[in-house]
Structure 1
Amino acid sequence: MSSATARTTSSGSESDVLAVMDQRKRKRMESNRDSARRSRMRKQRHLDDLIGQVAKFQGDNARIAAQISTFAQQFTRLDTENAVLQAQVAELTERLHSLNSVLRLVEDFSGVAMDIPEVPDPLLKPWQLPCPSQAITASAMFQY
């Protein structure tokens, strides 16, 4: 082979190597673009999921806030009703004691023995059941 042919062959193989390297570079760039596109799509899906979760949580938060408001109104109403009932219990208890005092005075002046039993007030001791010997069964509690 002549030196011109060798140069052509070497420059030919050199250009083949450059062409192969150029092709690999283009493939790598295309692969990187695809990878970047897939990454952007994943990020967008993740962002959309997070936005959906935020909307759901805001809705849940609003619903819970409305429930809290309703429960607070019910509590206020029941607390007021409880205060009224406690005042009525105190008034009725005072009346009972007053009536018992009058009956004792009548008993003292008349000399007639009157049976004035102390009336137990279960409302003043709600932790004590009026009939502790009676058992409450679970089946009786859930009958409709």
Structure 2
Amino acid sequence: MSSSSTGKPTSSGSESDPQATVDQRKRRRMESNRESARRSRMRKQQHLDELIKQAAQLDEENARIVVQIDAYAQQFAKLDLENAILGARVMELTERLQSLNSVLYMVEEFSGVAMDIPEIPDPLLKPWQLPCPSQAITASADILPY
């Protein structure tokens, strides 16, 4: 009797084993799911942080580009004004030259002396033909920002 009382019955242990195994598997699966969800939330948060950082960088770049565009717009306005002034000056000088040529034609007619009177190009008809092609065109290096 004493030997039978000291030993544990095997039938009662084997009956509780399947339930304990199912519970243990369920618990491990729940822990695994929780861990997977935690990792997923961390990845999502990292992705969100990266997107926020990228948005900030793009905002900074956009601000720099806006400043650069403003500088170019100011430079364009300045050059456009200078171009208009130079165009008016060309027209004024062309009119003066035409007046001087007409005086030379009259002098040639009345004096009878042949004169070499150059033909004046029309800047409106030929805007790229310079009245004085031998004159060099110069530009400063700081016109362009590069």
- TM-score, scaled to structure 2: 0.76
Residue deviations 1:55-101 (CA, integer Å, cap 9, x gap): 01001100100110000000000000000000000000010010000
For residue 16 of structure 1, what is the aligned residue in structure 2? Answer: 17
**Secondary structure at the counterpart of residue 113 of structure 2:** coil
Residue 114 (structure 1) shift: 1.6
Structure 1 residues 44 and 127, CA gap change in structure 2 (3 angstroms): farther
Structure 1 runs not aligned, ≥5 long: 1-7, 132-144
For residue 49 of structure 1, what is the aligned residue in structure 2? Answer: 50
Q: Which amino acid aligns with 1:117?
A: P
**Secondary structure at the counterpart of residue 78 of structure 1:** helix
For residue 30 of structure 1, what is the aligned residue in structure 2? Answer: 31
State percent identity of aligned pairs. 68
CA contact (8 A) 2:94 2:120 kept: no
CA distance in 1, matches of 2:118, 2:19: 117
Structure 2 runs not aligned, ≥5 long: 1-8, 135-146
Residue 11 (structure 1) shift: 4.3
Structure 1 residues 118 and 127, CA gap change in structure 2 (3 angstroms): closer
Match among 126, 133, 144 for residue 128 of structure 2: 126
CA distance in 2, matches of 1:84, 1:120: 19
| Equivalences for residues 62-101 of structure 1 within 5 A | 62-101=63-102
**Secondary structure at the counterpart of residue 29 of structure 1:** helix
CA contact (8 A) 2:108 2:115 kept: yes
CA distance in 1, matches of 2:13, 2:116: 132
